[in-house]
């Protein structure tokens, strides 16, 4: 059996869902965009002109849940199947869209450049337990209106792996989708072989803002897999308690899922989220708060109950540095995410309330991901039941180091962590020059950069994409940065 976190009784899940359907059917969702509101009415959702709220009949939502795939495949840059988001299969992914990065030499946060992004993408591409990439932060050396698409281009140009991304404006998705379709035969081929998941965020409570609804409609129109990510702040814009929060959260996710299915039945939708607590003194939004972790694991259970793939912002930290708090929060989040069976876990690399990305943290989190994934391996009988023959051998030989069972099993059973987890004894560590975790992370980053060997984009394709950006941005003809890493 695969170790699994059981958080909610089936009967409670059903009560939460009943209430969720009632909220959707009676309170409904505010659509903060006249065009978006009209479009949803055209799609058949009842809407009130005066309040611009649409409601979701239970049967419509249930049909949408049935239409939404319970699993889907992400493809690589060249269109080969890369991985399946299905069942309890867990993928750890760098968290998305930081405002700044933690500079490796000064240890201070600063604005990022395209070169920083290329460096990040090269490292992330090499990490064994980081399943695919995200557009982790925003380079500030390009016009701001193309920054969202530009970072996706940098990711696609640097790595063949899929990318979690998203648009920053109401017109952002079409340009990004056009670009992705250049890697496929045509638009339909992109929908059939998607390379990216896009984040779409409702505005809690129970609202889709103008940009967000347009992004959602556009993503579904293009058949781009969507993660619907509400950000509840417990006690502020959400009930402070878990069950109430789960109702609100589920209503928002299912509103997005239903809209996506009405636009294009079969669009992959992840039951996502980034719930946070609200700090009643500091007014901050800790996503790593222990009560928020309970909401995460709770909605994973609801998603599983509905047979939907799920996503979470877990494995990040609210600390400003790669300190014990960062390790503890990230480790706790990642282990819980793995136990809950989240299919896509956005968190590695992120500090400071999703505001600051650290490459050193990413390589540390790669190790934590390895640990979390190993913990969820099924516990099975492996020639060790009955156990007495093994124990007899142990008593006879005083050890099992050379036993046939050990020789055959230990390489698979006993995990040797990489350098980020220090397993030396004091003397060994002292002899090695007492390397701290920052130094060890630095070495791993350098190794990853040296090992990087992804073929560059076809020059004609590359030129076409760059033309797309330079011709459609606010500063037409602007010289866009070359693809070099920061050394």
Partner 1 sequence: MPDYALMNQRVFEGDRESVAEMTRAALEAGRPPLEVLEDGLIAAMRVVGEDFKYNRIFVPEVLLAARAMKAGMAVLQPLLTSSEGDSSAGTIVLGTVKGDLHDIGKNLVGMMAEGAGFQIVDLGTNTSAEEFIAAVREHRADILGMSALLTTTMVYMKTVVDEMRAAGLEHVRICVGGAPISQAYADEIGAHGYAADAGSAVQLFKRLVAPSAPPA
Helix (H, G, I), strand (E, B) or coil at 406: helix
Q: Which does 403 bind (CB under 5 to 8 A by kind): partner 1, ligand B1M, none?
A: none
CB 458 → ligand B1M: shortest distance, Å? 28
- Give the interface size with ligand B1M as a residue count (CB under 6 A): 20
**Interacting positions 168-197 with ligand B1M (CB under 6 A):** 168
User: What is each CA distance from 478 to 44, 145, 153, 178, 264, in whole angstroms?
Assistant: 44, 12, 16, 20, 37
Distance between CA atoms of residues 34 and 121, nearest Å? 39
CB 230 → ligand B1M: shortest distance, Å? 7
Q: Which does 199 bind (CB under 5 to 8 A by kind): ligand B1M, partner 1, none?
A: ligand B1M
Q: Does 354 bind ligand B1M (CB under 6 A)?
A: yes
| Pick 278 or 342: Cβ nearer ligand B1M | 278
| Pick 32 or 462: Cβ nearer partner 1 | 32
Q: Which does 96 bind (CB under 5 to 8 A by kind): partner 1, ligand B1M, none?
A: ligand B1M
Distance between CA atoms of residues 475 and 142, nearest Å? 10
Q: Which does 163 bind (CB under 5 to 8 A by kind): partner 1, ligand B1M, none?
A: none
User: Closest residue to ligand B1M, Cβ-based?
Assistant: 166
Q: Does 99 bind ligand B1M (CB under 6 A)?
A: yes
Residue ranges of the alpha helices (H) in 68-127?
114-126
What's the distance, CA 390 to chain centroid?
43
From the list 10-18, 80-88, 209-217, 336-344, the region that binds ligand B1M by CB under 6 A is 209-217
From the list 94-102, 249-257, 385-393, 403-411, the region that binds ligand B1M by CB under 6 A is 94-102
CB 355 → ligand B1M: shortest distance, Å? 5
End-to-end CA distance of the chain: 47
Residue from 199, 214, 277, 358 in contact with ligand B1M (CB under 6 A) = 199
Distance between CA atoms of residues 190 and 223, nearest Å? 8
Q: Interface with partner 1 by CB under 8 A: which residues?
A: 99-100, 111, 138, 140, 144-145, 147-148, 168-169, 203, 209-212, 233, 236-237, 278, 280-283, 285, 353, 355
Q: Does 138 bind ligand B1M (CB under 6 A)?
A: yes
Q: Does 231 bind ligand B1M (CB under 6 A)?
A: yes
Provide the 10 A C-beta neighbour count for residue 458. 11
**Interacting positions 398-457 with ligand B1M (CB under 6 A):** none
Residue from 119, 145, 211, 367 in contact with ligand B1M (CB under 6 A) = 211
From the list 91-99, 126-134, 395-403, 437-445, the region that binds ligand B1M by CB under 6 A is 91-99
For residue 227, what are the β-bridge partners? 199, 270
Q: What is the DSSP secondary structure assignment for residue 137, as one 8-state letter?
A: B
User: Which DSSP helix (H) or strand (E) runs through 246?
Assistant: helix 242-263
For the stretch 401-407, contacts whose Cβ atoms lie closer than 8 Å and that sit 24 or more positions apart, written own/partner, are none
Closest listed residue to residue 121, CA positions, set 154, 77, 96: 154
Helix (H, G, I), strand (E, B) or coil at 347: coil
Q: Does 327 bind ligand B1M (CB under 6 A)?
A: no
CB 106 → partner 1: shortest distance, Å? 16
Mind giving me the DSSP string for 443-485?
HHHHHHHHH--PPPPPHHHHHHHHHHHHHHSSSTTPPPPPS--
Residue from 40, 118, 201, 480 in contact with ligand B1M (CB under 6 A) = 201
Distance between CA atoms of residues 286 and 275, nearest Å? 9
User: What is each CA distance from 256 to 13, 201, 318, 342, in whole angstroms?
Assistant: 20, 9, 28, 19
Which stretches of the chain bind ligand B1M, using CB under 6 A? 96-99, 138, 166, 168, 199-201, 203, 211-212, 215, 231, 283, 285, 353-355
């Amino acid at each position: 059996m695969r170790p699994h976190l059981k958080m909610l009784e089936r009967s409670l899940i059903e009560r939460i869902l009943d209430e969720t359907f009632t909220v959707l059917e009676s309170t409904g969702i505010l659509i903060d965009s006249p065009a978006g509101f009209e479009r949803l009415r055209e799609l058949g959702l009842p809407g009130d002109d005066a309040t611009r709220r649409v409601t979701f009949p239970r049967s419509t939502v249930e049909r949408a849940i049935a239409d939404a795939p319970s699993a889907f495949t992400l493809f690589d840059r060249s269109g080969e199947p890369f991985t399946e988001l299905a069942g309890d299969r867990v993928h750890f992914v760098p968290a998305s869209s930081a405002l700044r990065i933690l500079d490796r030499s000064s240890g201070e946060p600063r604005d990022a450049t395209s070169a920083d992004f290329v460096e990040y993408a090269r490292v992330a591409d090499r990490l064994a337990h980081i399943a695919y990439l995200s557009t982790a932060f925003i380079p500030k050396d390009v016009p701001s209106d193309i920054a969202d698409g530009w970072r996706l281009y940098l990711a696609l140009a640097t790595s063949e792996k899929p990318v979690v991304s998203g648009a920053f404006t109401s017109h952002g998705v079409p340009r990004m989708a056009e670009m992705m379709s250049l890697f496929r035969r045509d638009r339909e081929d992109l929908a059939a072989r998607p390379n990216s998941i896009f984040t779409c965020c409702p505005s809690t409570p129970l609202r889709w803002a103008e940009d967000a609804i347009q992004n959602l409609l556009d993503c579904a129109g293009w058949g781009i897999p969507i993660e619907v990510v509400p950000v509840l702040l417990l006690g502020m814009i959400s009930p402070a308690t878990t069950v109430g929060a789960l109702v609100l959260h589920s209503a928002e996710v299912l509103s997005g899922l239903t809209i996506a299915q009405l636009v294009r039945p079969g669009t992959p939708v992840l039951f996502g989220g980034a719930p946070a607590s609200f700090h009643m003194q500091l007014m901050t939004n800790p996503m790593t708060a222990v009560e928020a972790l309970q909401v995460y694991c709770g909605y994973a259970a609801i998603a599983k109950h509905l047979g939907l793939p799920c996503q979470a912002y877990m494995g990040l930290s609210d600390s400003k540095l790669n300190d014990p708090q960062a390790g503890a929060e990230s480790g706790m989040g990642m282990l819980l995410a793995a136990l809950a069976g989240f299919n896509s876990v956005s968190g590695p690399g992120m500090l400071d309330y999703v505001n600051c990305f650290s490459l050193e943290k990413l390589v540390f989190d790669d190790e934590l991901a390895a640990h979390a994934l190993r913990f969820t391996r099924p516990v099975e009988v492996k020639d060790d039941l009955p156990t007495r023959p093994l124990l007899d051998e142990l008593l006879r030989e005083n050890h099992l180091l050379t036993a046939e069972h050990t020789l055959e099993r230990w390489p698979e059973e006993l995990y040797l962590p990489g350098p980020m987890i220090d397993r030396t004894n004091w003397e060994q560590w002292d002899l090695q020059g007492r390397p701290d975790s920052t130094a060890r992370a630095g070495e791993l980053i350098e190794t990853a950069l040296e090992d990087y060997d992804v073929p560059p984009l076809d020059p004609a394709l590359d030129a076409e994409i760059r033309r797309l950006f330079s011709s459609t941005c606010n500063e037409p003809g602007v010289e866009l940065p070359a693809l070099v890493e920061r050394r």
